[in-house]
Amino acid sequence: MILRFTISILCACILVLGLLCLSPLAQPKNGGAALNLPRLVKQGTATQLLVHNRPFLLIAGELGNSSASNLDYLRPIWPKLEKLHLNAVLVPVYWELLEPAEGKFDFSLVDGIVESARKYNLKLVLLWFATWKNSMSCYAPYWVKTDPKRFPRARGKDGQAMEILTPFSEENRNADARAFASLTKHLQKTDAREQTVVMIQVENEIGMIPDARDHSQQANEAYAGQVPAEFMTYLRRNKNDLAPEFAEIWRQNGEKTSGTWEEVFGKGPPAEEIFMAWHFAGYANSVAEAGKKEYALPMYANAALIRPGYQPGQYPSAGPLPHLINVWRAAAPAIDFIAPDIYFRNFSEWCAKYDRSGNPLFIPEAQNSQSLANAFFAVAQHNAMGYSPFSIESLDADRTLHVAGAYDVLRQLAPLVLEHQGKGEMAGVLLDDESQKTQLRIGEFVFNVAHEYSWRYAIRSQGDPPRFGGLIIMLSRDEFIIAGTGLIVTFAPRSGDAIAGIASLHEGVFTDGKWVPGRRMNGDQSHQGRHLHLPGNAFGIQRVRLYLYK
């Protein structure tokens, strides 16, 4: 009797659990820790992306703009991504193809992409190419483009309409938000359990060009009006944590707490840019908010960066740029962070600018000809959530080898990197023409890092110096993992007059997170015990134990 009763209780439990797992209704509608959706969490000073409750490092690449518009075109690309050792891919979703007629949605491309990503064990970051793509509105559907009365355009100083939808239109904003919400609703239904899609980029490289602001009638009226009180309140409350470049503009104009845009921020392009940033960010916020209501994935906005010396209007202005982070934060709380597309050589400078005042770093686009040493540096020195070279499917043979080699090593290191992010137990290094040597301090040791010898020969013959770099992770007081490419590392104690020597040094790999030592590196491989050397023709991992003597 008791046995029969226990069996029926057990069966009932199994049935209920089974139903919970199978029913889409059991899937959460909104985000939050309790619902176990992909989300951002703090670990010390780092912000990490959690997927299925575990930190995830996006070792990624972004597809070229048109590749995801045709599933047949994509078919041969998936295995290539796998061979490159990616664990995630950034893929556009095009408004014009998702909603070819108003209110009629076609999810076949998205579904096909999610299905293939699962097959190749890849996570997806979707890029919502909608109202704006690199400033322009080329991805707006035909029914939007051809109805400028209902969906008005931004205008130049001369009153000329541009191929840019104005952010000063409720119709534009609502049409985009409705389409985006349909997309996230669909993802909620089809992907909340598997969680193949882990994050979404809202729009792409928003920015105003060739004028710093829109000159449509609605824009002119808003520009002549008062700075919204909520923005002024935000600035007063966050006065001590404003981006220095932005604080300077406000200070130079007397730090007023009310007035028109020109009264508060002065006359000219800088004020116009702040004004546009407020409106762009507010628009992106409405889109993100509508999407999150259906399915609360982490969402970010990306920016085209500024060439040295360029003024607002000369670059895509008012986007999610580091000097405008306060404007974006105040106007777009539904955008979780802002992100740089780094195509310039001064990679480390841009990382530092985006790793400010709690903004987590993620690099959705990097120049695909740049060294992947950048990725090692970013994840270790700036706790980056991930790295992604642009047009990853179009690498030539040399670049394929480079990326595959680097990502193979970074995938092995990912669990360790994630464990140590934000705790002060890890550092990244990037050596370029301006900083040929550097010192890192971790725990009780100083690491002097320099280029390996090949660097000198390379600049003699090529002009552009190769970029070497890597990372150091403290395993215990005297043991460290050092990984990367093209580095010579010597050691010293952080204090006292003792000398640091190498107790043992191995190359090796991580297999399923476990260290598997290879050769013991001594003799010529460590310059007879003087240093650790990571050759510049590949990416590698070495584990060193240090000791002190006098």
The Cα–Cα gap between 507 and 488 comes to 14
**CA angle centred on 87, ends 82 and 92, rounded to 5°:** 90
Please state the φ and ψ torsions of residue 468, each to the nearest 5 degrees.
Answer: -115, 155
Cα 352 to chain centroid distance, Å, stands at 13
Instruction: To the nearest 10°, report the CA torsion of 535, 538, 539, 544.
Output: -30
In the complex, least distance from residue 239 CB atom to ligand DGJ, rounded to whole angstroms: 33
Of 137, 437, 110, nearest in space to 295 by CA: 110
Residue pair 486/451 in contact (Cβ under 8 Å)? The answer is yes
Which residues, other chains included, contact 60 with Cβ-Cβ below 8 Å and sequence gap of 6+? 86, 87, 88, 89, 90, 125, 386, 387, 388, 392
Residue nearest to ligand DGJ (CB): 205
The Cα–Cα gap between 289 and 277 comes to 18
Closer Cβ to ligand DGJ, 56 or 390, answer by number: 390
Amino acid occupying residue 92: P
In the complex, least distance from residue 341 CB atom to ligand DGJ, rounded to whole angstroms: 5
In the complex, least distance from residue 394 CB atom to ligand DGJ, rounded to whole angstroms: 11
Going by their DSSP bridges, the two strands 337-342 and 197-204 should be labelled as unpaired
Closer Cβ to ligand DGJ, 136 or 296, answer by number: 136
Closer Cβ to ligand DGJ, 222 or 324, answer by number: 324
Closer Cβ to ligand DGJ, 65 or 172, answer by number: 65
The Cα–Cα gap between 455 and 536 comes to 8
Residues that bind ligand DGJ (CB under 6 A): 65, 134, 204-205, 341, 365, 390
In the complex, least distance from residue 137 CB atom to ligand DGJ, rounded to whole angstroms: 14
Quickly list H helices, 23-85: 71-74, 77-83
Cα 483 to chain centroid distance, Å, stands at 22
Amino acid occupying residue 42: K
In the complex, least distance from residue 374 CB atom to ligand DGJ, rounded to whole angstroms: 16
Closer Cβ to ligand DGJ, 134 or 238, answer by number: 134
Of 467, 485, 205, 458, nearest in space to 345 by CA: 467
Residue pair 236/179 in contact (Cβ under 8 Å)? The answer is no
Closer Cβ to ligand DGJ, 139 or 275, answer by number: 139
Closer Cβ to ligand DGJ, 96 or 341, answer by number: 341
Of 345, 350, 346, 370, nearest in space to 361 by CA: 350
198: three-class secondary structure by DSSP: strand
Closer Cβ to ligand DGJ, 134 or 526, answer by number: 134
In the complex, least distance from residue 370 CB atom to ligand DGJ, rounded to whole angstroms: 13
Please state the φ and ψ torsions of residue 89, each to the nearest 5 degrees.
Answer: -135, 140
Closer Cβ to ligand DGJ, 223 or 390, answer by number: 390
In the complex, least distance from residue 205 CB atom to ligand DGJ, rounded to whole angstroms: 4
In the complex, least distance from residue 64 CB atom to ligand DGJ, rounded to whole angstroms: 8
Of 282, 308, 94, nearest in space to 204 by CA: 94
Please state the φ and ψ torsions of residue 499, each to the nearest 5 degrees.
Answer: -110, 140
Rg, Å, the chain Cα set: 26
Closer Cβ to ligand DGJ, 184 or 204, answer by number: 204
In the complex, least distance from residue 364 CB atom to ligand DGJ, rounded to whole angstroms: 8
Quickly list H helices, 192-254: 217-224, 229-237, 244-252
In the complex, least distance from residue 297 CB atom to ligand DGJ, rounded to whole angstroms: 20
Closer Cβ to ligand DGJ, 61 or 540, answer by number: 61
In the complex, least distance from residue 516 CB atom to ligand DGJ, rounded to whole angstroms: 39
Query: SS3 sequence, 501-538?
Result: EEEEEEEEEEECCEEEEEEECCHHHHCCCCCEEECCCC
In the complex, least distance from residue 204 CB atom to ligand DGJ, rounded to whole angstroms: 5
Residue pair 154/214 in contact (Cβ under 8 Å)? The answer is yes
The Cα–Cα gap between 29 and 139 comes to 28
Closer Cβ to ligand DGJ, 272 or 341, answer by number: 341
